[in-house]
Amino acid sequence: MPLESPIPPAPDETAARSLGRSRTIALIIASAMFMEQLDGTVLATALPAMSSSFQVEPTYMSIALTAYLLSLTILIPASGRVADRFGSRTVFRAAIAIFTVGSLLCGLATSLSFLVAARIIQGIGGALMMPVGRLVLLRAVPKKDLVAAMAWVLVPATLGPILGPPIGGLIITLSSWRWIFYINIPIGLLGIVLASKYIEEFREPARLPFDIKGIVLSAVALVCLMSGFEMIGRGMGSLVAVGGVIAVGVAAGVAYWFHARGFDAPILDFGLMRIATFRTSVVSGALSRISVGAMPFLLPMMLQLGFGLSAAQSGLITFVSAAGSLFMRAMAPRFLRRIGFKNVLVWVGLGATVLLGTCAAFRPAWPLAAIYAVLFVQGFFQSLQFISYNTIAYADVESEAMSAATSFYTTFQQLSLALGVAFSATVLAVSSRFWGHEQLQLADFSVAFVAVALVSLMAPVLSGAMDPAAGAEVSGHRRRPVSPVNVAPAE
């Protein structure tokens, strides 16, 4: 009697397995990114306690934040090339391990210089973890499941800044600041185990040469630009010093541009900007991320300095925007399937920008429910907007260019977020000086919110040039065919 061939799984069962695997991979990557996001916001809360422990001025502790950002900025462009050479799973696991070791060393730090060195090690891990984690997702998840998977991955970007301050305050109150780093160790070890079990190895068969000159030029450009933005945002240095740093960054960037045009495999490939969907996501997304960088900076300060609320009270209000963002995560695939990427980026993006500008009108006399409503809907709209940006960017990128695309995209994502803080801080300072305020007033925050909204308004305008069918394979959106009922027959 011949053996019966196994019955293949039903299409619905296969689809369910595919979606379940996509979610598992997305959650592994999201957990690693959550660890990285949480660490930064927790650290900001712990800086006063750490300065006391190291017996240094609190203002000196900002170097612990800057050292991490600079190592992150230098290495992100090379992350995709490293993943292609050594394998995406290997590099992702190594990134988690490096970040975890850096966390352990931070917890063991006995001086500020020790801490800075440990933060640089953390930055090396973080620089590989973010773009390579996204690359793993793009290579492992079918395009039809990408929107749902990306929605899961973007959760830590929302939760980290929310949970960081209260968790940091709780740890410092009940124990030592060192535990804000030690909590990363079990998360990191679990991430390594899960990545080994569920993530497949992938490496490009063709080994591209490392672009040493490009790495140096891009590092100088990015470090100088990021440092210049930081100096503006923190009010550090003279106008000449800040201008000099930014000028060096721009010069290095121009030098890199000419170098990249004559190099076959540049570390940051501007040739990707020929892809219409990728170009729209990078340019419009950068304009929109001005608001993402500015919002966590402006809103808490406005509520505390302008409204006279405590840090705890302002935190309860700013949480509402994140709650709207989280509420959107599960609904994003349905929205995109129904209305498509272009309508989301134009109309939802416009709604998010208008609601951002509405924050300029917030006053203590406003009913709290009205403020909650504006922030909740703004977070809801903005979440859908950025799930769309982060997904449409890769809709038309070929698999062999995916690593270059993730490095390029993540680099400019970091730059635009830093620019958001610097731009809003600059507008606050200019407004305060113009009106002759020694201390920031509520009106200064209103000016800053309007300025940020005007910049972000350019994003939906530019997105209007997209093809209505762009990314249909990813979103599942299909334009309805014209009904023949109302079409007159030919004579």
CATH number at 341 reads 1.20.1250.20
Would you say 125 and 112 are in contact if contact means Cβ atoms under 8 Å apart? no
Same domain? 161 vs 296: no
In tens, the pLDDT along 434-473 reads: 888 778 889 999 999 999 999 999 999 999 989 888 888 7
Smallest Cα–Cα separation from 70: which of 415, 404, 413? Answer: 415
Domains held by the chain: number: 3
List pLDDT tens digits, range 111-165.
888 998 999 999 899 888 888 888 888 877 777 777 777 777 776 666 666 666 6
Does residue 203 sit within a domain?
no
Q: In the structure, what pLDDT confidence band is assigned to residue 312 with cuts at 50, 70 and 90?
A: low
Kindly state whether residue 329 falls inside one of the protein's structural domains: yes
- Grade residue 13 by pLDDT with cuts at 50, 70 and 90: low
Specify the pLDDT at position 45. Answer: 65
Residue 146 shares a structural domain with residue 220: no
Question: Where residue 313 falls among pLDDT bands split at 50, 70, 90?
Answer: confident
In the numeric block, the tokens 């799973």 are attached to 89
In a domain, 490, yes or no: no
- In this structure, the answer to whether residues 51 and 190 fall within a common structural domain is yes
Comparing C-alpha atoms, which of 106, 211, 162 is closest to residue 324? Answer: 162
Residue 198 above 70 pLDDT?
yes
pLDDT reading at 7 higher than 50: no
pTM, two decimals, is 0.75
| Domain enclosing residue 419, as ranges | 270-475
Task: Let me know if residue 7 belongs to a domain.
Answer: no
In a domain, 8, yes or no: no
pLDDT digits (tens, 9 = 90+) for 37-68: 777 667 766 777 788 888 877 656 767 777 78
Query: Is a pLDDT exceeding 80 seen at residue 99?
Result: yes
> For position 251, what pLDDT does the model report?
94
Q: Is residue 202, in this structure, part of any structural domain at all? A: no
Task: Output the pLDDT for position 304.
Answer: 79
- pLDDT band, very low/low/confident/very high, at 206 (cuts 50, 70, 90): low
Q: What pLDDT is stored for residue 8 in this prediction?
A: 47
Residues 282, 385: one domain?
yes
Mean pLDDT of 219-243: 78
Tens digit of each residue's pLDDT (9 = 90 or more) over 379-415:
889 888 988 998 898 888 887 788 888 888 888 887 8
Give the DSSP letter string of 136-201: HHHHHS-GGGHHHHHHHHTHHHHHHHHHHHHHHHHHHHHS-TTHHHHTHHHHHHHHHHHHHHHPPP
Is 284 contained in some domain?
A: yes
Average pLDDT over residues 228-254: 82
- Residue 407 domain-assigned? yes
Q: In this structure, are 262 and 322 located in the same domain?
A: no
